[in-house]
Amino acid sequence: MAGLVLKGIGKSFGPVEVLRGIDLEVANGEFVVFVGPSGCGKSTLLRVIAGLEEVTAGTIRIDDEDVTGQRAAERGLAMVFQSYALYPHMSVYRNIAFALENMRLPPAEIEARVRRAATMLRLTDYLDRKPGALSGGQRQRVAIGRAVVRDPKIFLFDEPLSNLDAELRVATRKELAGLHAEIGGTMIYVTHDQVEAMTLANRIVVLNKGRIEQVGTPLDLYNRPANLFVAGFIGSPRMNFIRGRVGPEGRLVTPDGKVTLPLPPGLAAAGEVTLGIRPEHVAPCSAGEADARIAVELVEQLGSESYLYGTLADGTALTLRSPLEDPARRGEDVPVRFDPARLHLFDAAGLAIRP
């Protein structure tokens, strides 16, 4: 049974259409991540699900009940805000207990639930403190505790890690994954960080300009992007794109004819196409087995690996990952080979061409 069903969701702010025709089903217990660039509508979609924004079209069903017209409080959801939204004048205990007091639960049960959440989130020592006396990570845990304690139908997270430093983000990310494994609730998580999306999600929803571009498991999106947008958005550094035409020998020929490249085997393609290959699937090689040569413009050494940024003979930018510690120098001409099994092909409309 689907925990959440969105059908034809549309949302406009005046003349600006922020969401258009969103259809999505989220199963109970799933961890779904909405990802997309700034302004793609991911946070608005989350707020629409929460009931903090009204839809202008479509229906929202939670556990088979139509909640489209219901207020946020009636939907039984909990949300963790980007800014944490902790009540600054209340202690950690009061912050966590506040929603339970609203529900008029018996004091003993409130106490038990708060203590349980505090233990789970390692907040027991801070229950008497005000949010102002906590670190960013602790505040984030209080915000999560406030959601957990209510035992909601769905947890909603709106970029909850974006205010944390890099180290704390990784640690909190692990905690969230652990939390999902422990309590098993349905979680919907918004982020613009694809690493968060890839590491946390059961399924990722890629949004662009108010539409869903693709829904799938992290590896699905990485290995089988549905279109140029998803191919470019998932993966870091982003996928290389080389525009051209399918030539008479079944190879890609760039517009100026200076570069010819192999096409993915077994695909029937013709006319204008875009070839896609991720930096990790292009490798420096000997001149004899090269598919192309790149003029290196920049080398990024990350220790375990290096990235070479350069251009093909026709000027198309190409990035590749080199496992060597001292791979090449700026200005060098490096022969490279494309992994034929990892090539992606997109038609003139930008849609993936598949066998």
- Joined together, the tokens standing for residue 46 give 């989350």
Window contacting another protein (CB under 8 A); options: 70-78, 107-115, 164-172, 192-200: 70-78
Closer by beta carbon to another protein, 102 or else 311: 102
Indicate whether 73 belongs to the interface with another protein (CB under 8 A).
yes
Question: CB of 299: closest distance to another protein in angstroms?
Answer: 32
Indicate whether 133 belongs to the interface with another protein (CB under 8 A).
no
**Which of 15, 88, 248, 303 touches another protein (CB under 8 A)?**
88
**Which of 13, 21, 27, 71 touches another protein (CB under 8 A)?**
71
Closer by beta carbon to another protein, 104 or else 304: 104
Window contacting another protein (CB under 8 A); options: 1-9, 44-52, 224-232, 303-311: 44-52
**Which of 8, 13, 54, 102 touches another protein (CB under 8 A)?**
102
Is residue 343 classed as helix, strand or coil in its secondary structure?
coil
Q: How many residues bind another protein (CB under 8 A)?
A: 24
Indicate whether 183 belongs to the interface with another protein (CB under 8 A).
no
DSSP code of residue 55: -
**74: phi then psi, degrees, rounded to nearest 5:** -80, -10
Indicate whether 89 belongs to the interface with another protein (CB under 8 A).
yes
Quote the distance between the C-alpha of residue 214 and its chain's center: 11
SS (H, E, C) 302-317: CCCCEEEEEECCCCCE
**Which of 87, 133, 151, 223 touches another protein (CB under 8 A)?**
87
What gap in Å lies between CA 195 and CA 199, rounded to an integer? 6
Indicate whether 78 belongs to the interface with another protein (CB under 8 A).
yes
What is the secondary structure of 254-299 as a DSSP string? -TTSS-EEPPPTT----SEEEEEE-GGGEEE--GGG-SEEEEEEEE
Indicate whether 242 belongs to the interface with another protein (CB under 8 A).
no
| Binding letters toward another protein, positions 147-176, x by CB under 8 A | ---x--------------------------
**220: phi then psi, degrees, rounded to nearest 5:** -55, -50
**Which of 52, 253, 285, 299 touches another protein (CB under 8 A)?**
52
| Residues 41 and 57 sit within 8 Å (Cβ to Cβ) | no
| Residues 313 and 259 sit within 8 Å (Cβ to Cβ) | yes
**Which of 5, 50, 267, 313 touches another protein (CB under 8 A)?**
50
Q: Which of 302, 240, 276, 285 is nearest to 354 (CA)?
A: 276
